[in-house]
Amino acid sequence: MTSSSSVGAGSGPDVPTTAAPTTPVQPFTQPPADQYATPPGSPSSTRPPRWLPRALVMAVVAVFVAIFSWNALGALNGLFVNVLIAVFIALALEPGTVWLVRHGWRRGLAAAVTLLGSLLVVIVLMALFGNLFVQQLVELAQSVPALYEGLQGFLTERFDIVVPDTENLLRQALGEFGDDVASGALLVGTTVVGGLLATLTILLVSYYLLAAGPKFRAAVCGWLTPARQQEVLTLWEITQRKVSDYIGSRVVLAAVSTVVTFVFLAILQTPYAVPLSVFVGVVSQFVPTIGAYLGGALPTMVALTAQGWPQALGVLAFVVAYQQFENLYLAPKVSARALEMNAAVSLLVVLAFGAVFGVLGAFLALPVAATIQATATTYFRRHELIESHMLQDPDVDAKA
């Protein structure tokens, strides 16, 4: 007999079983590093933009280049002024050089003769009047103690003002400035050497510009188109003509000033009337801004040392009055005729250039402004005027 448990287990039908569904397993791959990262430089990013390091380096380099350029321009300021003066001298002496060339002289020799001849005239004038200036200055220095004592007695008697004696003033001056004698001597020596180098630079550059002449203009125009070449040459010719006119106007004013000053000094019986009048005329016209004061200082000192206070005050009053007449009436008229510029414009241009560029600007103001005005007249179109009573004075007959 067989047991039921064994029979059931061995003879029963197979029961099918349902297996759970399976999904295929995908291989794991690492996503890109910046797939979900914030771009650098965006508002929500903590990293700087990629161009920032290069920009910082370029900014630092630009700062150093700007500092170097500024220092270089400051160091070259004196050289620029010397070159500008040399160009002005070359333009002023160009007509004389061309005149010699037309008479058969070589360009280099004509430039040398013109430049050295002008320099010789300046040296002769300086030697002639410089000696007189030094002599009168020494006499004035010797008379200063007596003049100071007279002024001291006048103030004490009239106004009861106690003025220190001459010895006390000298002792105080030596105590205050005695330590600076060595530094002052060194400064004077450096100034003299610098002046000689500047003068040599101006003369050499002026000679090279005069000797080159057309070759220099051809070298400049070789970099320009034919139309631009014509414009540059026209502007060059205008500038040269205006500079020559300016020199001519200065010579006319110097001649008038010399004659008027000589007449006054002769009436006042001041010694050295001829050299003093020439000195006043030359210095007042060719030394800008302070030339009038330098020119009037020497005859005033001569009158003071040779004649006395009344004559010195008379010379000083004459110098001041004549300079006012010249500045307000004579100089604007001559400049307007020579440079074709309005009188008021001439005065304002000199004042403006002198305030901005100093002594050199005041000296070059009129030729530069006249060149600009002539250039504008050449290249800008002018129109016919309309009929209007605002453009002319009223008729006397019509008003009557």
Q: What is the pLDDT of residue 345?
A: 73
Note the pLDDT of residue 204. Answer: 92
Length of the chain: 400
Claim: this prediction has a pTM higher than 0.85: no
Q: Which residues contact 119 (CB under 8 A, 6 or more apart)?
A: 203
Quick one: which of 115, 143, 167, 164 has its CA closest to 301? 143
DSSP label at residue 326: I
Q: 284 and 257 in contact (C-beta within 8 Å)?
A: yes
pLDDT along the chain (400 residues), means of 10: 45 51 55 54 67 87 91 81 85 89 92 91 76 66 68 69 63 54 56 80 91 89 88 84 78 88 90 82 74 81 80 89 84 67 71 74 73 71 77 63
Distance CA 264, CA 318 (A): 8
pLDDT of the residue at 23: 55
Tell me, what's the pLDDT at 109? 93
Domain residue ranges in the chain: 94-165+194-216, 224-380
The letter for the amino acid at 387 is: E
Q: What is the pLDDT of residue 60?
A: 93
Tokens of residue 155, six digits: 């103030």
Q: What is the dihedral of CA 294, 295, 300, 305, to 10 degrees?
A: 80
